[in-house]
Amino acid sequence: METETLKRRNEFEWEIPKSGVMRVPVVLFGSRELIAAMDDKVREQLINVASLPGIVDAAYAMPDAHWGYGFPIGGVAAFDAEEGGVVSAGGVGFDISCGVRTLHTGLKLADLQGDVRRQLADVLYACIPVGVGSTGTLHLSEKAMDAMLCGGACWAVDAGYGRSADLARIEDKGCVDGADSAAVSAQAKKRQRDEMGTLGSGNHYLEVQAVSQLSDSAAALAYGLALDDVVVSIHCGSRGLGHQIGTDYLREMVLAAPSMGIVLPDRELACAPLYSALGRRYLGAMRAAINCALANRQILTHLAREAFAKLFPGTTLPLLYDVSHNTCKEEMHTINGRVRQLFVHRKGATRAFGPRHAELPAEYAEVGQPVLIGGSMGTASWILAGTASASGERAFGSACHGAGRAMSRHEATRRWHGRAVVDELAARGILVRSPSWRGIAEEAPPAYKDVGEVVDAADHAGLAGKVARLQPLVCIKG
């Protein structure tokens, strides 16, 4: 993207002023280098988002933004239902509520040296279902499916997967209100019936990591992190159910748009008024998918705990936090001094609420929400803390969700072979287990932007503050 065509607000904030059919400006966060590396399609998509009915304040792009379906990945926008605002299935995405949760292990880096690390990799790979079409041991009846879609992680805990103490450290306390299982198609439910407790494929993973750097001692203390601590991060979402919901409602929204008086700048931005019957049904289905993702990560947490206990009896893996991206959340935000109820779309962006926000667990209230930033197999991940400036939270309390792709999966497989990637990472002490050589090639570390640059930009832009760098040790990959 040509930075010369943008208005520079400061070193890490850029603007495309409102013009033409745009209802609000576009704001991009990132260094000059990160903005210049974004493809022009990101600019086009953001301008289209800024033209949607009822949009508030600005259409935002996080430092990891890249081209996506409808919204760019890393896109954030909020809509006011009272002003004709819409909900966009393309603004949420297909992997609804894909997110990251991080667990403490009570172990230190010294505990995972030599053959122990290999044994742990093998045990985790044997215990965690992973890959395209992967299925778990759980088969949900129709009644259980509806209960899971309405109950989320709370349902999973009640079913014996995890502990009630986990729920306080999950976004929405493990269950989002307003889920409507009746708004989820039979096909979506069928796809999910045997997929609970599975990682899936693509960029999803379970990774064992070590804290290699601390940047904020107060937040690290509140989060229970110290140098050389071993943690586990799980990155996955709502699997086939979320994808089918996206497919179903995008098709319906495209067909219904003319009758609702909506002129779509791009078919991929298919949307419906928030107060319409279609908009309400989509919200109900999307919230059911959020609960599905929360339940899925809760079951995977249970499986990870069982795996660790085989090698390290007595380990309990308490939850640090769980936060989602690819959602539309109903939240209260202050815009120009007025508190408004908004529907915030975060597509490839994560919630990042600042200190003393009412949604935070008490132990994190003074330092802000943990913001979990996933890397790729051979690169670092990060834990940040949500921030709040004197003028309020940036981009509706949002931050980046990862490094962001630097090239397509097709290009990655052309450049690298999975076996070579695994061998190179093993030489660096990072053990990868995966059923797919192609999947590993698609996710080769150089296929992504430098996560350190992305995190630095988020920190400097005031989206979230750096707390801890996590170095990968073992990666179970789809």
Q: What is the pLDDT of residues 244-299, one digit of tens each?
A: 999 999 999 999 999 999 999 999 999 999 999 999 999 999 999 999 999 999 99
Q: Is residue 59 part of a domain?
A: yes
Report the C-alpha gap between 289 and 188 in whole angstroms: 10
The 10s digit of each residue's pLDDT in 148-184 is: 999 999 999 999 999 999 999 999 999 999 999 999 9
Q: Over the range 214-229, which residues count as b (16 or more CB within 10 Å of their CB) and which as e?
A: bbbeebbebbebeeeb
66 is catalytic: no
Q: Is residue 83 part of a domain?
A: yes
Q: Is residue 93 part of a domain?
A: no
Q: What pLDDT does 391 receive?
A: 44
Q: What pLDDT does 134 receive?
A: 78
Res 390 pLDDT > 50: no
Residue percentage of the chain with pLDDT more than 70: 99
Q: What pLDDT does 202 receive?
A: 83
The 10s digit of each residue's pLDDT in 2-26 is: 999 999 999 999 999 999 999 999 9
Q: Is residue 250 part of a domain?
A: yes
The one-letter amino acid at 329: K
Res 57 pLDDT > 60: yes
Q: Estimate to the nearest angstrom the gap between the alpha carbon of 305 and the chain centroid.
A: 22
Q: Is residue 414 part of a domain?
A: yes
The 10s digit of each residue's pLDDT in 208-236 is: 999 999 999 999 999 999 999 999 999 99
Catalytic residue among 243, 325, 401, 460: 401
Report the C-alpha gap between 99 and 13 in whole angstroms: 26
Q: What pLDDT does 392 receive?
A: 59
Instruction: Report the CATH number at residue 171.
Output: 3.90.1860.10
For residue 392, the enclosing domain spans 3-88+98-477
Report the C-alpha gap between 209 and 343 in whole angstroms: 34
Instruction: Kindly report the average pLDDT of the chain as a whole number.
Output: 94
Q: Is residue 52 part of a domain?
A: yes
Q: Is the pLDDT higher at 446 or at 157?
A: 157
Cα angle 185, 188, 193 (rounded to 5 degrees) comes to 125
Name the token pair of 38.
């974004």
On whether the CB atoms of residues 257 and 270 are closer than 8 A, the answer is yes
Span 181-202, average pLDDT = 95
Q: What pLDDT does 131 receive?
A: 79
Q: How confident is the model at residue 201 (pLDDT cuts 50, 70, 90)?
A: confident
What lies within 8 Å, CB to CB, of 314 at 6+ separation is none
On whether the CB atoms of residues 379 and 402 are closer than 8 A, the answer is no
pTM of the predicted model as reported, rounded to 2 decimal places: 0.96
Q: What pLDDT does 377 receive?
A: 82
Q: What pLDDT does 389 receive?
A: 55
Res 75 pLDDT > 70: yes
Total domains present in the chain = 1
Q: Is residue 304 part of a domain?
A: yes
